[in-house]
Amino acid sequence: MQLTARHREYWAKNLRVTGILIALWFFVTFVLVFFARSLTFSFFGWPFSFWVAAQGALLVYIGIIWFYSHYMNNLDKEYGVAEGEAS
């Protein structure tokens, strides 16, 4: 299997988007939670840190996965590595 420059570019872009999204994941999960005791201002009635762990982070996670799927499925087409329609 011979990889072309375009294949390598595709993989580099994949690694980049993966890296950015995982950094976002890390920030929401570990950084925000680490400072939970200081982030207790009221957020629509909830203490902010409680809301983040109960709902906010989940919304970000869904966003991350949805964005990745959308981005990569387009990238596949752009770089000609997409699959055809299933039979």
Partner 1 sequence: MSVFGGVGQTQSEFKKGLNKIFLWYGGGFLFFVIVLGILEQMGLPKNWIGYAFLAATVLLYGGIGVMSRTNDAAEYYVAGRRVPAMYNGMATSSDWMSAASFIGMAGTLYLTGYGGLAFILGWTGGYCLVALFLAPYLRKFGQFTIPDFLGARYGGNMARLIGVFAAILVSFVYVVAQIFGVGLITARLTGLSFDVGVYVGLAGILVCSFLGGMRAVTWTQVAQYLILIVAYMIPVVWLSIKHTNNPVPQISYGYLLQKVTAKEELLLKDPKELEVRGIFKARSDAAVEKLKDVPASMAADRAAAVKRLDDLKAANGPAPEIKAAETAVAALPKDEAAARAAYTTARTSNAARAAPPLRHAEPFPGRDKAAQDISRKNFLALVFCLMVGTAALPHILMRFYTVPSVREARQSVAWSLFFISLLYFTAPALAVLVKFDIYTLLVGTPIDQLPGWIARWNVVDPSLMAVADINRDGILQLAEIRLGGDIIVLATPEIGGLPFVISGLVAAGGLAAALSTADGLLLTIANALSHDVYYKVIDPNASTARRVMISKSLLVVVALAAAYVASLRMADILFLVSAAFSFAAAAFFPALVLGIFWKRANKWGASLGMVLGLGVTFYYMATTHPWMYGLFHGQALTPEVLKANTWWDIAPISAGIFGVPLGFAVIIIVSLLTKAPDQEVQDLVEHVRYPSFDGRIPSGSAAN
Q: Which two tokens stand for residue 67?
A: 């964005």
Please name which of 44, 38, 70, 68 lies closest in space to residue 56, comparing C-alpha atoms: 44
Give the contacts of 56 (CB within 8 A, at least 6 positions apart): 28
Binding mask 45-74 for partner 1 (x = CB under 8 A): xxx-xxx-xxx-xx--xx-xxx-xx--xx-
82 binds partner 1 (CB under 8 A): yes
Q: Which is nearer to partner 1, 5 or 55 (CB)?
A: 55
Angstrom CA distances, 47 to 28, 39, 61, stand at 16, 8, 20
Q: Which residues bind partner 1 (CB under 8 A)?
A: 1, 3, 7, 10-11, 14, 18, 21-22, 25, 29-30, 33-34, 36-37, 40, 44-47, 49-51, 53-55, 57-58, 61-62, 64-66, 68-69, 72-73, 76, 80-87
